[in-house]
């Protein structure tokens, strides 16, 4: 009735191997691995923006929500607006010192400490949002950026882009270059240096101080972002002339700042979550501005009677000439400044050659 062992069919090798694996004792995670996986990290992020300010301020909030969800609650980031822990323009220092683990802002705010950082915010007559993202992600820009911040113990990632901005709000009309001379304008970064060379006086102010400064006459003009944010700040109540295009900020990159030591202490999966959440925030902000700016511009013109004006051609031409001079100075500032300049300009030239026959050509016939 029963076969003897000698009459049984040979057992396939694959089944023997499976059986052996089933009997084998599973690998036991080390205590260090268990601790890293089970540990919950509670981080603070400070920003240069008012708490929950549309676009700029909501982006870091969305980032924090995404990180918590993707990590299953293991990385919990609490976001603080400008002034809640540190003033807006001290965000970089707070992350560098380790007072907080994260920050969100714009690189040109740190020009006094790191002049070369301005290249990673925006460049007058430079790359737009799409081109800047390409340079940072696939053109070597991010590597240079991270090299620049490394001595300060800070790791940067792109985490938002406003797209091309508006030229700004002015208390008087701009008809010639003479109208720029002596004008006090809130305008940061490399654009501010161009404005200075044109005879104006650039002023650096955080967002929360702009409206009052313009309304009281402490400044004569201001750029901020674009219709979406400008309407939220009520800048149309303080100045009536709204100029375009935003020659000074064709695609402002917002940055996520992470304390290097804190980042390296995270397990690899949480490090990856931080990076991917930043990439998502970067695209999400641009998408939001693409929709909201058109809605807000319509409201400013139709509901609030804002006078929308283009800069005169000769003014833009002079700004462009002066921009080239400013960029040459920045190129010669340091060895890394030269490498950043060469990388940026080479990518912009290459991108432009395609854009002429693609984006520009399409827009002209759409």
Give the pLDDT score at 8: 40
User: What is the tens place of the pLDDT at every residue in 254-267?
Assistant: 999 999 999 999 99
Q: Which long-range contacts (CB under 8 A, 24 or more apart) does 330-339 make?
A: 330/115, 330/116, 330/118, 330/119, 330/190, 333/115, 333/116, 334/115, 334/116, 336/116, 336/144, 336/147, 336/148, 337/115, 337/116, 339/144
Q: Whole-number mean pLDDT of the chain?
A: 92
Give the pLDDT score at 34: 55
**pLDDT higher than 70, residue 26:** no
Report the distance separating Cα 329 and Cα 296, nearest Å. Answer: 37
The superfamily CATH assigns to domain 168-248+305-365 is: Periplasmic binding protein-like II (3.40.190.10)
User: What is the tens place of the pLDDT at every residue in 242-252?
Assistant: 999 999 999 99
- If one compares 132 and 30, the residue with the highest pLDDT of the two is 132
CATH no. of 40-163+251-290: 3.40.190.170
Q: Fold match between 40-163+251-290 and 168-248+305-365?
A: yes
**pLDDT higher than 70, residue 15:** no
Query: For residues 286 and 163, is the Cβ–Cβ distance under 8 A?
Result: yes
User: What is the tens place of the pLDDT at every residue in 194-219?
Assistant: 999 999 999 999 999 999 999 999 99
**pLDDT higher than 60, residue 10:** no
User: What is the tens place of the pLDDT at every residue in 95-129?
Assistant: 999 999 999 999 999 999 999 999 999 999 999 99
Give the pLDDT score at 38: 79
Structural domain boundaries in the chain: 40-163+251-290, 168-248+305-365
């Amino acid at each position: 009735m029963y076969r003897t062992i000698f009459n049984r069919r040979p057992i396939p090798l694959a089944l023997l191997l499976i059986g052996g694996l089933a009997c084998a004792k599973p690998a036991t995670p080390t205590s260090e691995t268990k601790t890293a996986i089970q540990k919950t990290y509670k981080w603070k992020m400070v920003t240069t923006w008012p708490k929950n300010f549309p676009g700029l301020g909501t982006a870091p909030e969305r980032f924090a929500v995404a990180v918590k969800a993707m990590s299953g609650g293991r990385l919990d980031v609490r976001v603080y607006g400008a002034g809640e822990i540190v003033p807006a323009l001290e965000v970089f220092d707070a992350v560098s010192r380790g007072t907080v683990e994260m920050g969100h802002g714009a690189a040109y705010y740190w020009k006094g400490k790191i002049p070369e950082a301005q290249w990673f915010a925006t460049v007058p007559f430079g790359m737009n949002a799409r081109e800047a993202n390409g340079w940072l992600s696939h053109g070597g820009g991010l590597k240079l950026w991270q090299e620049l911040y490394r001595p300060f113990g800070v790791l940067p990632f792109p985490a938002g882009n406003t797209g091309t901005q508006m030229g700004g709000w002015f208390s008087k009309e701009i008809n010639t270059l003479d109208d720029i001379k002596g004008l006090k304008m809130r305008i940061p970064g490399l654009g501010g240096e161009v404005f200075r060379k044109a005879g104006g006086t650039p002023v650096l102010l955080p967002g929360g101080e702009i409206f009052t400064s313009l309304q009281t006459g402490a400044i004569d003009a201001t750029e901020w972002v674009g219709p979406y944010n400008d309407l939220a700040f009520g800048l149309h109540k303080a100045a009536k002339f709204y100029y375009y295009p935003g020659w000074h900020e064709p695609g402002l990159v917002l940055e996520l700042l992470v304390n290097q030591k804190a980042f390296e202490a995270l397990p690899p999966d949480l490090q990856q979550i931080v990076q991917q959440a930043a990439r998502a925030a970067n695209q999400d902000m641009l998408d939001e501005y693409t929709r909201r700016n058109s809605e807000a511009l319509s409201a400013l013109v139709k509901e609030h009677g804002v006078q929308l004006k283009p800069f005169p051609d000769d003014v833009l031409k002079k700004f462009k000439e002066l921009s080239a001079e400013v960029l040459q100075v920045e190129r010669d500032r340091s060895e890394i400044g030269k490498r950043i300049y060469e990388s940026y300009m080479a990518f912009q030239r290459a991108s432009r050659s395609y854009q002429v026959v693609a984006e520009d050509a399409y827009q002209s016939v759409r």
